[in-house]
Amino acid sequence: MADHDITLTVDDTEESLTVESRTLLVHALRDQLGYTAPNVGCESGKCGACTVSLDGDAVKSCTILAVEADGSEVRTAGALADEAGGELHPIQAAFHEEHGLQCGYCTPGMLMTTEELLDGNPDPSREAIRRALKGNVCRCTGYGNIVDAVETAAERVDASDRPDSATGDD
Amino acid sequence: MFPAEFDYERADSVAEAVDRLAAHAEAGTEAELLAGGHGLVPAMKAGERAPDAVVDLDTEELVGVTERDDALAVGALTTYADLADSALVRERAPALADAAGAVGDVQIRNRGTLGGNLVEAHPAADPPAAVLAADATLVLVGPDGEREVPAADFFVGERETVVEPAEILTEVRVATGGEATEAGTNDAGYVRRTHPATGYALVGVAAVLDRDGETVTDARVAATAAVERPVRLPAVEAALTGGPVDADAREAAAAAAADGLDDGRFRSDPSASGEFRRQLLATCVERALAAAGE
């Protein structure tokens, strides 16, 4: 049925595209625009592999219509290394060093939820980390190393280094 | 897992959304209102719903919490995250803050809305228990204007509410009881037993207690996920009124938890039998009272 012309800012790049009413944000990002960091996992809003930041909030991009997001700012895990000048972002480096991934499919979503957590709570307890990552499912690690990775990331991420994603809550 | 095709219409105001919904009702086409989309979009992806049109209500006029007279006015498009994080809600309607914070996960709370949750009327949703225990008033706007519905009359069955096809839930007013709070304390809590896989409540109970000193002057207790719709528990409320909320009172209230609820009404599924939910209801009542009475 009806097509819609929309604009998105994805990882600081202005994008214009035409989507169907039923196109989901994750498919617009991956299939139409080539931003393949968010993965499609469960397709039912449970696993969190498709997590991106939408206007500053971590959301599941498989549960949002692309047309709903018209005019919004999207940030994917692909932005992290770009911002760190091609090096791994401190959150990514912590996941690497702590073996916070095996197959890696869930990792882009884990990274984006972790970034939101650390924005609001720079020194989270292990319990707070587990609570924050409730919506991100990992079938490999058993989560222990992921919690270690977030703790390590928290020690390294300096609030002043982060983009001003705290402005997205209004 | 793609939704069937539909027409997408954006409405920038409540009035425009009502007009659009009314036009669809008139034309005999099925339209769904999109709020946060975390009930509707998964249902459309699963093929459980296939409306001809989706009307996306996108307006700041329904976002946020304001203090008005002796009530908190919560805009229907306020997200769970904003409710759970609101100092005002935490202070004046703590059971609602607890229930909003119990929903789903971070990503869902960032997107899903109170109004969407109440109109979806999922039988195991958390906020309806808190809204019932808060004795909230729900404001509906439709083609014939505005009407106010007490929370106790809003839910009529599983996934069924009194909302008409061209009506929109715009606001949830939670009385914060100026006089009651001045005379004593207004304490509340929400406690649930969580399904380990789905994260939904197997049973959830919200309790709001008005007290003068140690004595309960008014108790409002409501359960979600126990039976087909969220319900107040009048026998529990009666057992509490006029006394302190000590261990004996909590036990007596828990013993009355299922009074008036026929065994056959308890939800039963492979995760939890009706009999188990009946037991959980008593346990959750006792724990919610402990949380509220502290």
> Of A159-168, B118-127, B169-178, where does mean pLDDT reach its minimum?
A159-168
Inter-chain contact B108–A21, Cβ cutoff 8 Å? no
CB atoms within 10 A of CB A87: 11
Look at A87-101, B24-38, B183-197 and tell me which has the smallest mean pLDDT.
Answer: B183-197
Q: Are A59 and B81 a contacting pair at CB < 8 A?
A: no
Q: Give every CB contact of residue B273 below 8 A, 6+ residues apart in sequence.
A: none
- Whether the per-residue pLDDT at B78 is higher than 70: the answer is yes
Q: Which helix (H) or strand (E) holds B97?
A: helix B94-102
Interval B158-186 mean pLDDT = 78
ipTM here: 0.92
pLDDT tens digits for range A53-79: 999 999 999 999 999 999 999 999 999
Contact B4 A22 (CB under 8 A): yes
Interface of B with A (CB under 8 A): 1-8, 34, 37-38, 41-42, 44-46, 54, 56, 58, 81-82, 104-108, 110-111, 199
- Rounded to whole angstroms, the Cα distance separating B173 from B161 reads 17
A40 → chain B, closest CA residue = B1
pLDDT at A168: 40
A135 touches chain B (CB under 8 A): yes
Q: Residue B123: pLDDT above 70?
A: yes
Whether the full predicted model's pTM is greater than 0.90, yes or no, is yes
Residue type, B161: T
Q: Is the pLDDT of residue B178 over 50?
A: no
* Cα separations in angstroms, B62 against B78, B114, B198: 7, 11, 29
End-to-end CA, chain B: 47
DSSP state of B47: T
Q: What is the mean pLDDT of residues A35-52?
A: 95
Report yes or no: A4 at the B interface, CB cutoff 8 Å. yes
- Put simply, the answer to whether B38 touches A43 (Cβ < 8 Å) is no
pLDDT of residue B180: 40
Which position has the higher pLDDT, B90 or B275? B275
Name the 3-class secondary structure at B278. helix
pLDDT of residue B1: 76
